[in-house]
Chains A and B, each alone.
Chain A
């Protein structure tokens, strides 16, 4: 299989997030970037597929702070090749990122009949999981998000996937290759690679760096204003016997004009 994984960096929410003075972006002084968790699952799934069915895994990323660490970790996990697309992608949102990625794949003729493109089904900055669908659209390939299981059938050159729907429903689909998948969870949780192996990779591996000069029409969605969530009202604990509590609830609801 020709497995291509797209991994991007997202703001680490363990760190405090502060809004920059322009009111539209996050303050880079407080920002720390980390690999998107679902993308790490995509890496894991790709490596599992490679181990099962053979082939190569190519990791593609957009340049960002701390991205090299994420790339070396993915290489140590079993990716064969890594590409870093250089450029200032800081304020690009999902539709535009998908466009960059699609152009890169098309222009370099990287998609063949055995290609499976995997990425995370969601990201901290892409809760709706738009990226994967835009990508399918730009590449004109079948696309499935929220995938939790992938099995390859060599004879038919198709994959059997399992996808989750809301309400605990699941669907199974047979999809011809090439195709695009948004991975929700890999078959196994992402593996741990000892630091010694990552460090060895840093010394031996080569990240292919690619200058992308084309202009893009937009950066995707234009953000007008970022603001911190409003502090919600504090909870009130109601005490007393069930009847008293019920009376109090009715009072509150009446007060708020809800009944």
Chain B
């Protein structure tokens, strides 16, 4: 006899009917729950998105189908894939079986799940069923025996034991399924039973039982399997299993614009949950509590109150418990949906360095720093900030630099050079060099900035600066949340740009680089030629490649390189500095956290202007220096950001490694190698 799928074998007719009724019910509950989620996403502010269809398909494919981000951490990646594909294939199998029975068999009187096709079907489902079980067991071991810190979840937006419930019910569904199969095979004993290897093995256990017991057990397990499956489906929208949908939708609606560009503030920042955009709310709803953000977060690791994971979960909790009916005239009635104070403290918000490590690690593409900046905007609007931040903002407002020095002193560092740097406002230049505040005013940077100028001069570069016409670019001001001041500084700079004649911009500070490149829209003012913005490492790399700089001396030192957040993670510039180091004979030893995993120095997002109020465990820069020292035998810690010079030169002193490790700007090394 040809093998055929024995659907509803041994199942009484009433139970069959009940199955359809319950199946229908579970789908209704699921749908109601799903709609509730979409209603919550829609309480947010509007946010326009670009169509970019191809990018969106790619994002979903990478994020949900091949799960690139998840697999970047190997063990969780593997078991997530097996659980996902186990469930996915079993779902497809169930759908095929339903079509086979309820469409072709019911209406046309034939089954296609028969013969060889059915045998392969059995084998395939058995394999994925066992993968599912193995995946769940690894997940349970990791979660409940190894207990990694990042999985500890203090705030649970759904209910406690959600993770356990989820793994538990999937485990039970898969295992009862196999028991049902085993019982059936042991009664039917078909000649092809080895095609269902797991069921076949199980059936051997039941071989000695009497027929009636087997039949009763079969009905019992079948019913349990059915009930659990429908319970699971119905519960998806009420547990973190909903991430299957919310995270996928979130991947589709991923921000396709430039990473380094913040969206303009709504009038007064975010005070209430409804003031986030719908896309931000969708992100909150996608969180699966994995804690990768927290693990990567320099603020969390140094012991500040901020954990990006808890921040997202707290906001998600507000979102989930928020009743969309409480909105009248576009905003929630009194006090509803507030996120500040008891829920998210000011200290949490100010602790963020906006380094984007969290966002880069997040497998469901939550943009934590943007959430934080939006909430900071509310604090700034209320005048709530550290005195030191207030002082800096006032200095920036008045003098256009964070040092509170006279604008006339901006190019003072250049006065002791042997040549005069062109004033781009008076003479046409090819490259406008926008040094940024730290390179211009910080005493520690003076000789480095001079050497950068000497490198440009040596290469015969046609370059100039804006002298007192340059103002702070506003990158960090914007990330502090003072949008108005950012606009103010940007307008002043654009006025200076308008007076100058240049074709390209080169910056020293990666923070400046980010905002000029991504937020100034330099080609958007009617100019036909798009103005290219380069970081000085990109330019020096180019000058070496074009042989405009001759390397006279290979340095022959061993060094490590620290990727600045705003150069690497924000703008993907990883290779130019490494290529320069290679060219000048530096043997590069990478730190374990390099490139996109680079560990922030702690200065970004305005943190450089704040003081630690509570004692910290270990400052990010100190942690980073210890990481570098652990490499053994490296003499130099190379940076490509003026703020890194400030942070790491301090950190080598406070960690006591000053004699062992010297912090150097890449420009200093380049100068050493080209000096005659």
Enumerate chain A interface residues (CB-CB to B < 8 A).
Answer: 14-16, 34, 189, 191-199
Could you say which of A14, A15, A193, A198 contacts B383, with CB atoms under 8 Å apart?
A: A193
B207 contacts A by Cβ under 8 Å: no
Could you say which of A192, A193, A195, A197 contacts B488, with CB atoms under 8 Å apart?
A: A195
Task: Scan B507-548; emit 1 where CB is below 8 A from any A CB, else 0.
Answer: 000000000000000000000000000000000000000000
B406 & A195 in contact (Cβ 8 Å cutoff): no
Cα-based distance from A23 to B483 in the complex (angstroms): 44
Not counting A191-B383, A192-B383, a sample of 14 additional A-B residue pairs whose C-beta atoms are within 8 angstroms of each other reads: A14-B406, A189-B387, A192-B380, A192-B385, A192-B390, A193-B383, A194-B381, A194-B485, A195-B397, A195-B484, A195-B485, A195-B487, A196-B484, A199-B488
A192 & B394 in contact (Cβ 8 Å cutoff): yes
Contacts of B303 in A (CB 8 A): none
Task: Scan B627-640; emit 1 where CB is below 8 A from any A CB, else 0.
Answer: 00000000000000
Contacts of B381 in A (CB 8 A): 194, 196-197
> What are 18 of the A-B contact pairs (CB < 8 Å)?
A14-B404, A15-B406, A15-B408, A16-B406, A189-B387, A192-B380, A192-B385, A192-B394, A193-B383, A194-B383, A194-B482, A194-B485, A195-B487, A195-B488, A196-B381, A196-B487, A197-B484, A199-B484
B584 contacts A by Cβ under 8 Å: no
Q: Which of B353-410 contact A (CB under 8 A)?
A: 380-381, 383, 385, 387, 390, 393-394, 397-399, 404-406, 408
Q: For residue B406, which residue of chain A has the nearest CB? A: A15
Give the distance to chain A from B590, nearest Cβ to Cβ, in Å.
42
Contacts of A192 in B (CB 8 A): 380, 383, 385, 390, 393-394
Q: For residue A77, which residue of chain B has the nearest CB? A: B383
A195 & B383 in contact (Cβ 8 Å cutoff): no
Contacts of A196 in B (CB 8 A): 381, 483-484, 487
Cα-based distance from A194 to B485 in the complex (angstroms): 7
Give the distance to chain B from A183, nearest Cβ to Cβ, in Å.
18
Give the distance to chain A from B17, nearest Cβ to Cβ, in Å.
65
Contacts of A199 in B (CB 8 A): 484, 488
Give the distance to chain B from A50, nearest Cβ to Cβ, in Å.
16
Interface centre among B393, B399, B408, B484 (most CB of A within 10 A): B484
Cα-based distance from A82 to B405 in the complex (angstroms): 30
Decide if the interface of chain B is mainly helix, strand, loop or mixed: helix
Give the distance to chain A from B509, nearest Cβ to Cβ, in Å.
22
Contacts of B397 in A (CB 8 A): 195
Give the distance to chain A from B398, nearest Cβ to Cβ, in Å.
7
Cα-based distance from A198 to B488 in the complex (angstroms): 11
Q: For residue A196, which residue of chain B has the nearest CB? A: B484
Cα-based distance from A15 to B404 in the complex (angstroms): 10
Cα-based distance from A199 to B491 in the complex (angstroms): 13
Contacts of A195 in B (CB 8 A): 397, 482, 484-485, 487-488
Cα-based distance from A196 to B265 in the complex (angstroms): 11
Give the distance to chain B from A198, nearest Cβ to Cβ, in Å.
8
Cα-based distance from A196 to B267 in the complex (angstroms): 9
Cα-based distance from A54 to B387 in the complex (angstroms): 27
Contacts of A191 in B (CB 8 A): 383
Contacts of B383 in A (CB 8 A): 191-194
Give the distance to chain B from A125, nearest Cβ to Cβ, in Å.
19
A14 & B399 in contact (Cβ 8 Å cutoff): yes
Contacts of A16 in B (CB 8 A): 406, 408
Q: Which of B445-494 contact A (CB under 8 A)?
A: 482-485, 487-488
Contacts of A15 in B (CB 8 A): 406, 408
Contacts of B404 in A (CB 8 A): 14
Contacts of A189 in B (CB 8 A): 387, 390
Give the distance to chain A from B132, nearest Cβ to Cβ, in Å.
54
Known A189-B387, A192-B383, A196-B483; contact A14-B488, beta-carbon cutoff 8 A: no
Q: Which of B116-142 contact A (CB under 8 A)?
A: none
Cα-based distance from A216 to B408 in the complex (angstroms): 37
Known A14-B399, A34-B398, A189-B387; contact A194-B406, beta-carbon cutoff 8 A: no
Q: For residue A200, which residue of chain B has the nearest CB? A: B484
Cα-based distance from A193 to B482 in the complex (angstroms): 10
Q: For residue B404, which residue of chain A has the nearest CB? A: A14
Give the distance to chain A from B441, nearest Cβ to Cβ, in Å.
12
Contacts of B385 in A (CB 8 A): 192
Q: For residue A30, which residue of chain B has the nearest CB? A: B408
Contacts of A14 in B (CB 8 A): 399, 404-406
Cα-based distance from A199 to B482 in the complex (angstroms): 13
Cα-based distance from A15 to B484 in the complex (angstroms): 25
Give the distance to chain A from B5, nearest Cβ to Cβ, in Å.
68
Give the distance to chain B from A14, nearest Cβ to Cβ, in Å.
5
Interface centre among A191, A192, A193 (most CB of B within 10 A): A192
Give the distance to chain A from B383, nearest Cβ to Cβ, in Å.
5
Give the distance to chain B from A68, nearest Cβ to Cβ, in Å.
14
Give the distance to chain B from A196, nearest Cβ to Cβ, in Å.
3
Give the distance to chain B from A72, nearest Cβ to Cβ, in Å.
12
Cα-based distance from A196 to B484 in the complex (angstroms): 5
Cα-based distance from A194 to B383 in the complex (angstroms): 7
Cα-based distance from A119 to B482 in the complex (angstroms): 29
Give the distance to chain A from B620, nearest Cβ to Cβ, in Å.
27
Q: For residue B381, which residue of chain A has the nearest CB? A: A194
Give the distance to chain B from A18, nearest Cβ to Cβ, in Å.
12
Cα-based distance from A195 to B387 in the complex (angstroms): 17
Contacts of B483 in A (CB 8 A): 194, 196
B408 & A194 in contact (Cβ 8 Å cutoff): no
Cα-based distance from A194 to B385 in the complex (angstroms): 11
Give the distance to chain B from A124, nearest Cβ to Cβ, in Å.
15
Give the distance to chain B from A75, nearest Cβ to Cβ, in Å.
15
Cα-based distance from A134 to B281 in the complex (angstroms): 61
Q: For residue A198, which residue of chain B has the nearest CB? A: B484
Cα-based distance from A16 to B394 in the complex (angstroms): 19
A194 & B387 in contact (Cβ 8 Å cutoff): no
Give the distance to chain B from A252, nearest Cβ to Cβ, in Å.
33
Contacts of B488 in A (CB 8 A): 195, 199
Interface centre among A16, A196, A197 (most CB of B within 10 A): A196
Give the distance to chain B from A241, nearest Cβ to Cβ, in Å.
30
